[in-house]
């Protein structure tokens, strides 16, 4: 049985209050009914819920997994009850509009809650992710009747939801979707095809499941321009009979075992088109930012859970020291301290960056000034592929280091830390594999506007550098951020130059390392802001992981990776350009 979950509430609230300064979000008209005190109280309750209700089902979920019994999914012991408590407390609707029954708190608050939910049990958190994505999609694109009928049920969690994009021949290459939707005389459609990897394609929490399916109509043009979006209810709205949606099998997988990953067959299922014909992918794009944000937080979520577990273990495990004296706690060993520092520094940097992206999305959607909204959206759009790719990579690295801190015991299931490694691995793959995120960053977010979005980020970092000054306890991280920005600016110029020379293959070769470099430098920016907000802020972590130490560690130990990354971006590897 793994250790219990401890939510990183204090760290999250510190970042929200003093780094992101969430108070300004409650001045936006959409959020004036709330304030920082209320949101802080909500997150404190959320932390308790995650620790007491969700954390305890994580290990049992991994052990039992979801199974298929007589064509229906059965989730592991305790999941149904946890879901019931989750919906009864109103957690699915935290940031959803009040008009659909939500609490309409900022997305930033939702993301902080999502971090705790994912850290407590990643498998459980996958269903709320689908609910929120589905609600957002319908709010933005469905007609009023369908919206009123379906969205309140998703916001309350009474109904489940899925997002059905992937097919065997259409993974990253979404344009190859083949599922067919034939129009019917009554305006509905009949859908036929097979979707794979569908998260919570079936479950035993809710009677109704709303499947949001990408498919093509009979004469649709090939590729992404011929894809439409359909709502397919698991139970037909009018008759209450089962629709033609069948779970063919559940995938056996490396981790996330309690989250049922389904092959879903649509066998003449009745569906309703959402939005314009052939514009389904555009509709999906409106929730890409949201989904990326929510997946971005999974890395720091698991990373923080793994770090808390490893820290406790390092204090208790006795090994080493002089042979004639009692053994010392392994936290006394420099190498163990080094690992714990890497873990905490990476987590905090990524958590703060994800919160920064979320707060910009809040301003982008609800800001009062149009220029401010546009600027916030552009900054968020630049940061999101970085958050998704670097957050998931950091989560995996940190979880793996937690196993290392545990030694052989970490490799044993009972420790609970090996589950973190298996569970978080997929975050680098789904919701757009990290390689695709890097290509998106470089081609759509950097080159398409000749670096304008990048200039917004650089401008923000420059403002922080000017505000904070290089003196005192933040001297090292200030210097590291300044140097990091200069290195990133040179790398950016180089990628822009490659584009000018038409060297597309060289750009693609450099994209992942450019994305990592951006994440590393943005992490220094976050640590500068954290240290400036409270370099001496202390906690119960033996001083090792206090903000001042960590900012210095990031500056001295982690940021030098930028030289390797910059070098890799600059090399001309001719084989790649052939």
Ligand X SMILES: Cc1cc2nc3c(=O)[nH]c(=O)nc-3n(C[C@H](O)[C@H](O)[C@H](O)COP(=O)(O)OP(=O)(O)OC[C@H]3O[C@@H](n4cnc5c(N)ncnc54)[C@H](O)[C@@H]3O)c2cc1C
- Span 441-470, contacts to ligand X by CB under 6 A: none
Query: How many angstroms separate the CA atoms of 226 and 179, rounded?
Result: 11
Residue 321 near ligand X by CB under 6 A: no
Look at the block and give the residue holding tokens 């904070």.
468
CB atoms within 10 A of CB 318: 12
Return the range that interacts with ligand X (CB under 6 A); candidates 4-12, 34-42, 165-173, 309-317: 165-173
Residue 288 within binding range of ligand X, rule CB under 6 A: no
Nearest to 251 by CA among 299, 191, 296, 202: 202
Q: What is the closest distance, in whole angstroms, from the C-beta atom of residue 251 to ligand X in the complex?
A: 7
Considering only residues 49, 124, 205, 430, which one is a binding residue for ligand X as defined by CB under 6 A? 430
Q: Is there binding between residue 171 and ligand X (CB under 6 A)?
A: yes
From the CB of 401, what's the least distance to ligand X, in Å?
23
The interface with ligand X within residues 203-262 (CB under 6 A) comprises 256, 261
Q: Which region among 26-34, 310-318, 424-432, 537-545 touches ligand X (by CB under 6 A)?
A: 424-432
Q: Is 555 in the site for ligand X (CB under 6 A)?
A: no
User: What is the nearest approach in angstroms of ligand X to the Cβ of residue 543?
Assistant: 39
Q: Which stretch binds ligand X (CB under 6 A): 12-20, 112-120, 158-166, 482-490?
A: 158-166
Residue 426 binds ligand X (CB under 6 A): yes
164 binds ligand X (CB under 6 A): yes
Q: Judge contact between 120 and 303, C-beta under 8 A.
A: no
Q: Which helix (H) or strand (E) holds 84?
A: helix 79-88
When asked if residue 165 is in the footprint of ligand X (CB under 6 A), the reply is yes
Q: How far is the CB of 130 from ligand X (least distance, A)?
A: 7
Nearer to ligand X, 116 or 438 (CB): 438
Strand partners, 271: 189
Q: Cα–Cα distance between 54 and 47 in angstroms, integer?
A: 10
Residue 121 within binding range of ligand X, rule CB under 6 A: no
Size of the site for ligand X (CB under 6 A): 18
Longest dimension (CA), the chain: 88
CB of 145 to ligand X, least distance (A): 26
431 is catalytic: yes
CB of 375 to ligand X, least distance (A): 30
State in angstroms the smallest separation of the CB of 259 from ligand X.
7
DSSP secondary structure of 107-176: HHHHHHHHHHHHHH-HHHHHHHHHHHHHHHHHHHHS-HHHHHHHHHHHHHTSSEEEEE--BTTBSS-GGG
Residues 472-501 that bind ligand X (CB under 6 A): none
Chain-centroid distance, C-alpha 410 = 25
Q: How far apart are CA 103 and CA 334, in angstroms?
A: 47
Q: Which of 167, 393, 431, 513 is labelled catalytic?
A: 431
Interface region with ligand X, contact rule CB under 6 A, candidates 238-246, 406-414, 426-434, 539-547: 426-434
- Span interacting with ligand X, options 70-78, 332-340, 416-424, 429-437, rule CB under 6 A: 429-437
Whose structure tokens read 């873990």?
343
User: What residue has token string 């819920």?
Assistant: 49
Cα gap 94→86, rounded to integer Å:
11
Tokens of 544: 């090792």
CA quadruple 418, 421, 423, 427: dihedral, nearest 10:
180
Q: How many residues does the chain have?
A: 578
Tokens 């589950």 -> residue? 419
Alpha carbon distance 478, 464 (integer Å): 9
Binding of ligand X at residue 436 (CB under 6 A)?
A: yes
Q: From the list 4, 64, 166, 224, which residue makes contact with ligand X (rule: CB under 6 A)?
A: 166
Q: Which of 31, 100, 197, 527 binds ligand X (CB under 6 A)?
A: 197
Q: Does 198 bind ligand X (CB under 6 A)?
A: yes
The binder of ligand X chosen from 6, 199, 298, 392 (CB under 6 A): 199
Interaction of residue 433 with ligand X, rule CB under 6 A: yes
H-type alpha helices, 469-572:
475-500, 504-534, 547-553, 561-570
User: Is residue 163 a contact point for ligand X (CB under 6 A)?
Assistant: yes
Stretch that binds ligand X, among 196-204, 330-338, 373-381, 461-469 (CB under 6 A): 196-204
**In this chain, which residue has its C-beta nearest to ligand X?**
171
Determine if 328 is a binding residue for ligand X (CB under 6 A).
Answer: no
- CB burial of 187-216 (b: ≥16 within 10 Å; e: otherwise) equals ebbbbbbebbbbbbbbbbbbebbbbbbbbb
Q: Which of 399, 431, 134, 419 is nearest to 283 (CA)?
A: 134
Residues acting as catalytic residues: 431
Give contact residues for ligand X (rule: CB under 6 A): 163-166, 171-172, 197-199, 256, 261, 426, 429-430, 433, 435-436, 439
């Amino acid at each position: 049985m793994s250790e219990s979950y401890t939510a990183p509430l204090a760290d999250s609230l510190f970042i929200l209050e003093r780094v992101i300064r969430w108070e300004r979000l409650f001045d936006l008209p959409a959020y004036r009914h709330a304030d920082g005190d209320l949101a802080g109280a909500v997150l404190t309750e959320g932390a308790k819920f995650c620790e007491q209700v969700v954390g305890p089902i994580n290990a049992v979920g991994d052990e039992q997994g979801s199974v298929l019994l007589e064509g229906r999914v059965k989730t592991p012991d305790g999941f149904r009850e946890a879901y019931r408590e989750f919906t009864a407390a109103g957690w699915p609707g935290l940031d959803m509009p009040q008009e659909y029954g939500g609490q309409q708190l900022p997305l930033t608050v939702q993301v902080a809650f999502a971090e705790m939910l994912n850290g407590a049990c990643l498998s459980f958190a996958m269903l709320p992710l689908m609910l929120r994505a589905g609600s957002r999609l319908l709010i933005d694109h469905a007609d009023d009747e369908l919206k009123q009928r379906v969205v309140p049920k998703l916001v309350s969690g009474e109904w489940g939801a899925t997002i059905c994009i992937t097919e065997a021949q259409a993974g990253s290459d979404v344009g190859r979707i083949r599922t067919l939707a034939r129009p019917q005389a009554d305006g509905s459609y009949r859908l036929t095809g097979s979707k794979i990897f569908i998260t919570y394609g079936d479950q035993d929490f809710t009677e109704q499941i709303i499947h949001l399916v990408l498919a093509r109509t009979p004469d649709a043009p090939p590729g992404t321009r011929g894809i439409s979006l359909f709502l397919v209810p698991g139970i037909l709205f009018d008759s209450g009979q089962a629709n033609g949606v069948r779970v063919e099998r559940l995938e056996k997988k490396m981790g996330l075992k309690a989250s049922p990953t389904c092959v879903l067959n649509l066998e003449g299922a009745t569906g309703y088109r959402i939005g314009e014909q052939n514009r389904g992918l555009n509709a999906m794009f409106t929730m890409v930012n949201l989904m990326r944000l929510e997946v971005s937080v999974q890395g720091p979520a698991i990373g923080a859970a793994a770090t808390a577990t490893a820290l406790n273990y390092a204090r208790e495990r006795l090994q080493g020291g002089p042979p004639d004296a009692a053994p010392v706690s392994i936290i006394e060993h420099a190498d163990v301290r080094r690992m714990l520092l890497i873990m905490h520094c990476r987590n905090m940097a990524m958590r703060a960056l994800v919160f920064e992206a979320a707060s910009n999305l809040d301003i982008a959607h609800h800001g009062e000034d149009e220029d401010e909204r546009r600027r916030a959206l552009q900054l968020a759009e630049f940061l999101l592929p970085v958050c998704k790719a670097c957050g998931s990579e950091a989560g995996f690295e940190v979880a793996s280091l937690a196993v290392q801190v545990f030694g052989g015991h970490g490799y044993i299931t009972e420790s609970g830390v090996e589950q973190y490694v298996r569970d978080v691995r997929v975050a680098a793959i789904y919701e757009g594999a990290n390689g695709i995120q890097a290509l998106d960053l470089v081609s759509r977010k950097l080159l398409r506007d000749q670096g304008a979005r990048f200039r917004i980020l650089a401008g923000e970092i420059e403002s922080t550098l000017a505000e904070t000054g290089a003196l005192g306890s933040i001297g090292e991280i200030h210097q590291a951020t300044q140097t990091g920005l200069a290195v990133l600016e040179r790398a950016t110029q180089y990628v822009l130059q490659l584009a000018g020379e038409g060297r597309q293959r060289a750009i693609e070769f450099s994209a992942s390392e450019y994305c990592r470099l951006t994440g590393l430098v943005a992490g220094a920016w976050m640590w500068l802001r954290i240290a400036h907000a409270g370099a001496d802020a202390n906690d119960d972590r033996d001083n090792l992981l206090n903000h001042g130490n960590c900012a210095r560690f990031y500056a001295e130990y982690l940021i030098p990776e930028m030289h390797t990354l910059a070098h890799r971006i600059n090399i001309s590897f001719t084989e790649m350009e052939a």
